[in-house]
Amino acid sequence: MPYVISGACIDVNDKSCMDECPVDCIYEGERKSYVNPKECIDCGACEPVCPVEAITQDRDVEAGMEAFVEDDRRFFVDVLPGRDAPIGAPGGARVVGTIGVDTDLVRDWQA
């Protein structure tokens, strides 16, 4: 089961987790980052470095944050604002660079 990033990352988004990921599958939006579920190998290396404990396995997300399991997936399969195709599974965040936009859920999220 892939790891996911919950809403606790929103407006923190400090990228600490990205340096830990051996397959470079954490992609940077504007307010939040997102784990690509097609590329995550479930190693768990990202989880302990997050300063706000936003990263968990998908079955362990905290109460109230369940929507972010599907939302991380949607970041890669929906066509995001300003793009003409889904991100899909490009083989690493460094391949595509900072995405710089968010899903609707994250864009409109009120803490």
By the criterion CB under 6 A, which residues form the site for ligand SF4?
3, 5, 9, 12-17, 20-21, 23, 25-26, 33, 35, 40-46, 49-50, 52, 54-55
To the nearest whole angstrom, how small is the minimum distance from the Cβ of residue 22 to ligand SF4? Answer: 6
- DSSP strand E in the chain: where? 3-5, 26-28, 33-35, 55-57
In this complex, which beta carbon is closest to ligand SF4, that of residue 50 or of residue 99?
Answer: 50
* Backbone phi, psi, residue 100, to 5°: 80, 5
What are the residue ranges of helices labelled H in 41-92?
Answer: 67-77
To the nearest whole angstrom, how small is the minimum distance from the Cβ of residue 52 to ligand SF4? Answer: 5
Strand partners, 33: 28
In this complex, which beta carbon is closest to ligand SF4, that of residue 3 or of residue 84?
Answer: 3
Q: Is 57 left (phi over 0), alpha (psi -120 to 50) or beta?
A: beta
In this complex, which beta carbon is closest to ligand SF4, that of residue 41 or of residue 79?
Answer: 41
In this complex, which beta carbon is closest to ligand SF4, that of residue 35 or of residue 84?
Answer: 35
